[in-house]
């Protein structure tokens, strides 16, 4: 019998839902691990997609959103981000989030990348878009958000990522991806 290195080596013997709210669920699994020994594994299930948008104007400016993040107990500068139900078109969620947080609408949308944010403990999938052809409208933040929006030259944001001043993973990945696209002249 031929061994498939990409086959799942974990065997679940039982599972128990530990916690559930409108955004996440936590499950503890009793498992037989890849070495054949019994163990446990905890998984956080995200009920929404993580959506990120890097708005870019014709002068290569972008917009950062500043907010205090409860889980890290720290202030964070990020690209516009939010959640989108799995049943919705992710692009519709991106359009909604961009308008809510910045008041911007875009005429051109490009998916930059998809990534799992912490695949050792959760199943959260993020989809990041580039938004171009920007028009300013009125922002519509949620009542749980206390946001500061600032327009910044993209190169300055890249330098903030390079210096480690921006640590949000979706922002870091989006900025680095866009920087490579600009350097390789792949932006249309």
Spell out the per-residue pLDDT of the chain, length 188, in tens: 567 889 999 999 999 999 999 999 999 999 999 999 999 999 999 999 999 999 999 999 999 999 999 999 999 999 999 999 999 999 999 999 999 999 999 999 999 999 999 999 999 999 999 999 999 998 776 666 678 899 999 999 999 999 999 999 999 999 999 999 999 999 87
**142 part of a folded domain:** yes
Same-domain pairing of 23 and 105: no
Examine the domain organization and report whether 41 and 95 are in the same domain: no
**Alpha carbons 126 and 115: distance in angstroms, whole number:** 5
Tell me whether residue 2 is in a domain: no
**Does residue 73 sit in the same domain as residue 38?**
no
Distance CA 100, CA 79 (A): 13
What is the C-alpha separation between 88 and 74, in angstroms, rounded?
31
Measured distance CA(84)–CA(126) in Å, rounded: 10
Domain membership of residue 3 (yes or no) is: no
Name the strands in the sheet holding 148-153, side by side, starting at the edge strand that comes first in the sequence: 74-78, 61-69, 148-153
97 and 29, same structural domain?
Answer: no
The tokens for 29 are 């699994």
Question: How many domains does the chain fold into?
Answer: 2
Q: Looking at the structure, do residues 84 and 29 belong to the same domain, yes or no? A: no
pTM of the model: 0.91
The answer as to whether 4 is a domain residue is: no
What is the DSSP-derived secondary structure letter of residue 70?
A: T
């Amino acid at each position: 019998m031929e061994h498939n290195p990409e086959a799942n080596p974990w065997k679940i013997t039982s599972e128990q839902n530990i916690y559930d709210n409108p955004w996440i669920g936590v499950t503890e699994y009793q498992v037989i691990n890849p070495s054949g020994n019994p163990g446990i594994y905890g998984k956080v299930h995200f009920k929404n997609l993580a959506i990120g948008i890097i708005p870019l104007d014709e002068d290569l400016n972008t917009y950062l959103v500043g907010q205090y993040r409860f889980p890290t107990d720290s202030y964070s500068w990020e690209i516009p981000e939010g959640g989108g139900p799995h049943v919705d078109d992710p692009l519709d969620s991106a359009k909604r989030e961009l308008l809510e947080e910045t008041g911007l609408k875009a005429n051109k949308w490009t998916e930059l990348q998809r990534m799992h944010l912490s695949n050792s403990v959760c199943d959260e999938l993020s989809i990041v878009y580039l938004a171009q052809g920007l028009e300013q409208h009125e922002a519509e933040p949620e009542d749980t958000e206390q946001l500061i929006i600032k327009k910044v030259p993209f190169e300055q944001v890249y330098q903030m990522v390079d210096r480690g001043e921006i640590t949000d993973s979706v922002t870091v990945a989006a900025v680095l991806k866009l920087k490579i696209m600009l350097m390789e002249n792949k932006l249309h």
